[in-house]
Amino acid sequence: DFCGGFTDDAAKVIVGGPMMGVAQFDLEAPIMKATSGIVVLTEADVKKQEETSCLKCGKCIDACPLHLLPTRLARLAELNRLEEAEELGITVCMECGSCAFTCPAKIPLVQWLRLGKQRVITMQRNRKASAS
C-alpha cells in the first residue's frame, strides 16, 4: 500500500527478484532492509507456457555464467545418470535461472538442475560414508 498498491490483480508475488526470488503465499510477508526486490505478476504474466523439445539453440549455454551445459545436465538428471552429471559439473551450478529464462522451449532447467544436484550430493555423501 505504501507504494500505491496494485494496478491490476496480483496472481503471484516474488520477493528477491524474478530469477532467484521466492514466491510468497500471501502478502503478509515482511519487507526487510535486505529485500533486494519485489516482483508482482498478473494472470497473463504467469500463464503456463507449453514446454517443447530442446531446439539445440545454445541460448542456455551462452546465458550460463559458469559455462555449463544446462540442457545436457538437466537431461542427465531426468534420466538419473548421476555419475555423468557429476563429471559435467552439476554441483557447480548456482541455480541462477539464466538458462531457463532464455530457453525458448520453456524447459524447466533449474528444477531439473536443482534435483540432479541434490541427488549427486547425496550420492557423494553415500560414497564417502561407505568408504569410511
Residue range 33-82, pLDDT digits in tens: 888 888 888 887 777 778 999 999 999 999 999 999 999 999 999 999 99
Query: How far is residue 129's CA from residue 132's CA, in Å, rounded to a whole number?
Result: 5
39 neighbors 79 (Cβ within 8 angstroms)? no
- 33: Cα within 13 Å, side-chain hemisphere: 0
Residue 101, in any domain of the structure: yes
Retrieve residue 48's grid coordinates: 503456463
Query: How far is residue 22's CA from residue 3's CA, in Å, rounded to a whole number?
Result: 20
Residue type, 58: G
Range of the structural domain that residue 92 is part of? 59-131
41 shares its domain with 64: no
94 shares its domain with 122: yes
Secondary element (H or E) of residue 75: helix 70-78
**Total of domains in the chain:** 2
Summarised one tens digit per residue, pLDDT across range 100-126 is 989 999 999 999 999 999 999 999 999
